[in-house]
Every structure is written in C-alpha cells, then in structure tokens.
A and B are shown apart, each in its own frame.
Chain A
C-alpha cells in the first residue's frame, strides 16, 4: 500500500478482554515499530522488529503485551486481559532500514478505549 495501515482505527473493549491490533507496514520496509501515546503525553516506545525478529522488547509494559511479525510484513500487537490504563492510541511505524538517519513512516494509529 501507499502508507502504513493500522486496523481497527478505533476499538472499545471491556476490561479483562483480549485485543489484537494490526499493522501493515510499507512494502519492503525492514524495520517496524510500535509506540503508545497516552492522552496529552509523548510517544512511549514499546517494541521494534528487524524483519520478523524483535531484538528489543524492553518497552512492553507488562507480560500482558506481546507482538509478532510475519516476515517483513504484517505485525500484530496483542494485549491480554486489558486494563483501563491500557487506553491509549497505539501507533505503528515502519522504515526502510533500522539505522539512525532513516525516516519512520507512521500509521494513523488505533485508538483503544478500555471500559
């Protein structure tokens, strides 16, 4: 596709339910990132993929969060047993390489609301 696509754009879920967020990066981009943006706050790094490998998972807030990526394609971020503090916009980005000067292209985000 032309850009990074995320689905769903909005998700309302009940506390305790599991949710799965999807990201389709730009074709051919090696690096893929997940960030979280709480209301009125900056971007919080969650995890990044180089290909389908995730060298750094240290940003994941708890073991309820997990992510996977198929090759250099789609990635899913799963949150189990959602809590109200998980409410945020989850942003996905991809870039052609994982080195410093490479621009990251962001999707529109998934707005998750846990009620």
Chain B
C-alpha cells in the first residue's frame, strides 16, 4: 500500500541554522507529494507540493525536490527563524483521492 515515512522528532535548532526533514515514500505509479505545516494553535496548511519527478516545490524559503529514484521528498530550509517552529507533515496522493500522511515532525527554533 501507500505510505510515508518521515524523520522522527522533535527537532530543536537555533535561529539561522539549516533544517532538513527527511521524507521517503512507498507508492505505486507517480504520486503527488506534499509538505503540510501546522503552526501552534492553527490548522494544517499546505507548505509546498510537487506533482512529478524532479519537480521542486518551494515556499517561504523551504524547498523539497521530488526524487523518484530514491523515493524521497526531503524538506530543507537554509536559515530557519523562530516563526518556523511548527509541526511538519509529509504527505502523498497516489492520484486518486486519499492523502497519506507521515507521523509529523515537531520543529522548535530557539532565538
């Protein structure tokens, strides 16, 4: 079946540090891949997405590249801020209807 495995947290880092959250997936065919973010006290919102191999999604300084050869969609940001503290979820949609989510990674950025 379809599944997403993402790096376990929590992750704590200092402002301006480099952030990577690993995400790998198992799926048949060519799924679309997403990163969703949940800021404290807020609902889930889409951070970025990629719909085909080698696509790079980017938003708010975050990037992730759809790597079919390694079945990965790692999230990166070069210089994090306190406001990036949130829970990050990797997700896939195998081009039908069901979004499958990873367990989430809690990121805390200290000033």
Contacts and interface: CB of A to CB of B under 8 A. Distances in A.
Interface of A: 4, 31, 33, 35, 41-43, 45, 48, 50, 55-56, 91, 93, 98-109
B19 interface: no
B101 A43 contact: yes
Interface of B: 31-32, 34, 36, 42-46, 49, 51, 89, 93-104
Contact of B49 (A48, A50, A93, A101): A101
B43 A42 contact: no
A56 B97 contact: yes
A106 B96 contact: no
Nearest to A6: B43
Contacts, number: 63
A100 B44 contact: no
A106 B98 contact: no
A53 B101 CA distance: 23
A104 B89 contact: no
B108 to A, nearest CB: 15
13 contacts: A4-B43, A43-B44, A45-B98, A91-B43, A100-B31, A100-B32, A101-B32, A101-B95, A103-B34, A103-B46, A104-B46, A105-B46, A106-B44
A100 B46 contact: no
